[in-house]
Structure 1
Amino acid sequence: MIDTGSIREHMEVTGSDGGHVGTVDHVEGQRIKLTKTDPEAQGQHHYIHLDSVAGVEDGAVRLNRTAAQAKDEWATDH
């Protein structure tokens, strides 16, 4: 399991393919809440489960799925 303390506000979230997914707002339980002001967010907060995180490196959260897969799976509810 990823150390959630290493995930910081305003970090970029990228897919395994290097594609931009979003920007971290904060960690909320077992999910990362993404900012709604990110261009990819379409004005909504999105959530990515921590199981999707492969690691934190070079100041970014890297996922274990492509950006497109992550966007297909992200949740918009609380």
Structure 2
Amino acid sequence: MTTINVESINNHADVIASCGTKVGEVDHLHGNDQIKLTKHGDGYHHLIPTSWVSQVTDNKVILNKDSQEVKDNWVQI
């Protein structure tokens, strides 16, 4: 298993589910183990664990969960 350097996650990077669907944008890292997403269409921020990240590029964070699983399991704040 490849370890992801969470420090390499850029603010405002697109967050892409494993199915290819954009599920949000990075607002900022929330501690060492969560990513806070910018406000969603529902008016709330959402948190996702960094353990869902499978790959990080300059402006994309690719997750190992599909979009439905992400939306079913993210934390609304």
- The two structures share one fold, judged by TM-score above 0.5: yes
| Unmatched tracts of structure 2, length 5 or more | none
Does residue 44 in structure 1 map to residue 44 in structure 2? yes
The match for 2:8 is 6
Q: Would you say 1:15 and 2:32 are equivalent positions?
A: no
The count of residues paired between Structure 1 and Structure 2 equals 74
TM-score, structure 1 as length reference: 0.86
Distance in 1, Cα, partners of 2:54 & 2:64: 5
Say whether the 8 Å CA contact 2:13–2:58 is kept in structure 1: no
Residue 5 of structure 1 aligns to a residue whose secondary structure is helix
Unaligned ranges ≥5, structure 1:
none
**Counterpart position of 2:75:** 75
C-alpha displacement of 1:58 = 5.5
Q: Distance in 1 between matches of 2:30 and 2:51?
A: 13
Say whether the 8 Å CA contact 2:35–2:47 is kept in structure 1.
Answer: yes
Q: Give the Cα separation in 2 of the matches to 1:63 and 1:45.
A: 18
Q: Per-residue deviation at 1:57? A: 2.6
RMSD of the TM alignment (CA)? 1.3
- Structure 1 residue runs of 4+, over 4 Å off? none
Identity level (%)? 42
C-alpha distance in 2 between matches for 1:33 and 1:13: 11
